Amino acid sequence: MSKKRIVIAGGSGFIGTALAVEFCARGFEVIVLTRAPRLRTDGIRELAWDGEHPGEWIQCLNEAEAVINLAGRNINCPHTPENLRAIASSRVNSVQTLAAVLDHVKTPPRVWVQAGAVGFYGDTRGELCDESAPNGGDALANVCRDWEAAFDVAKVPQTRKVILRIGFVLGREGGAFPVLARLTRLFLGGAVGDGGQYISWIHLGDLVRMFAAVVENEKAAGVFNAVAPAAVTNAEFMHELRGALHRPWSPPVPEFAVRLGARLMGSEPSLALASQRCEPKRFRAAGFQFQFSKLPPALQDLCSKI
């Protein structure tokens, strides 16, 4: 009996790498679609794709169990109008390309899991957002709106569709966590701005299990917030991180310094200053069991191995 196949588009990054390893360990055939394919020896196959044009990769979608789309330009850059257009187009184009191809596949995947982001809600400060909360009004929220709209209109009647709005992912191998840990070890892990902005975080291990859960649960469809149950403020997050790294105190970082530092580093200050307080209402209703539902154990797990 042949293995069930998982296709991960844009799967060579931080999250995609973890997903590929997890699904391979679960006994799936895993194919990663990436701009720079490599020859691997771990049982995972990589194929070339650019997110816009058909290629050899189309064949792997036929009779696949699932396609997971993570493709999109990194948002860790200055959010100039030009960069925002590039971020939006990279996401929308990949969705439209997959939709167009799936319409011509004889036996399309049983489920399409599309990555989204809690940035959809905009800067909500302390307001608690479940999946029914409205779209925000800032630039990044508009990008997320267009991203999801492209997915919503994709006509794939034989394929179940799921969106995971992903929060701040905590993992040792990528994302912002390793940078924050290094700064904290150097006694530069103070609260950012007023420290009141909420962080909707998720441990990478739980995020990977969320993807697996929606692939395997035939009833899972629509939007899910992929975050831990307990969002925390920036001040709380940095306090817990300092504790996990045995750094009792660090000076706070005023907002002007955040904006200046982001400019010097080619980043975007709103990524550190915006507030999203989200809850995984639908995952909890579905009975999803979090391995890390609270921040301190999640940070202890990560910091004990770096």
Q: pLDDT tens digits, residue range 249-300?
A: 899 999 988 898 888 888 898 999 999 999 999 999 999 999 999 999 999 9
Over the chain, what is the mean pLDDT? 94
Model confidence at 182: pLDDT above 90:
yes
Q: pLDDT tier at 56 (50, 70, 90 boundaries)? A: confident
Q: What is the pLDDT of residue 306?
A: 61
Model confidence at 1: pLDDT above 90:
no
Neighbours of 183 (CB within 10 A): 17
Report yes or no: 202 and 167 within 8 Å, Cβ to Cβ. Answer: yes
Rg over alpha carbons for the chain, rounded to the nearest Å, is 19
Task: Give the H or E element holding residue 258.
Answer: helix 255-265
Backbone angles phi, psi at 69, to 5 degrees: -110, 115
Segment 194-223, tens digit of pLDDT = 999 999 999 999 999 999 999 999 999 999
Q: What is the pLDDT of residue 260?
A: 87
**What's the rounded Cα separation, in Å, for the pair 159 and 110?**
5
Q: What is the pLDDT of residue 81?
A: 92
Segment 70-98, tens digit of pLDDT = 999 999 899 999 999 999 999 999 999 99
> DSSP secondary-structure letter at 14?
H
Angle at 30 between CA 20 and CA 290, to 5 degrees: 40
- What tokens appear for 110 in the block? 């049983």
**Protein fold of 5-174+201-227+277-290:** Rossmann fold (3.40.50)
Amino acid at 37: P
When pLDDT is averaged across residues 136-151 and rounded to a whole number, the result is: 95
Neighbours of 8 (CB within 10 A): 28
- What tokens appear for 263 in the block? 């400019």
When pLDDT is averaged across residues 101-110 and rounded to a whole number, the result is: 93
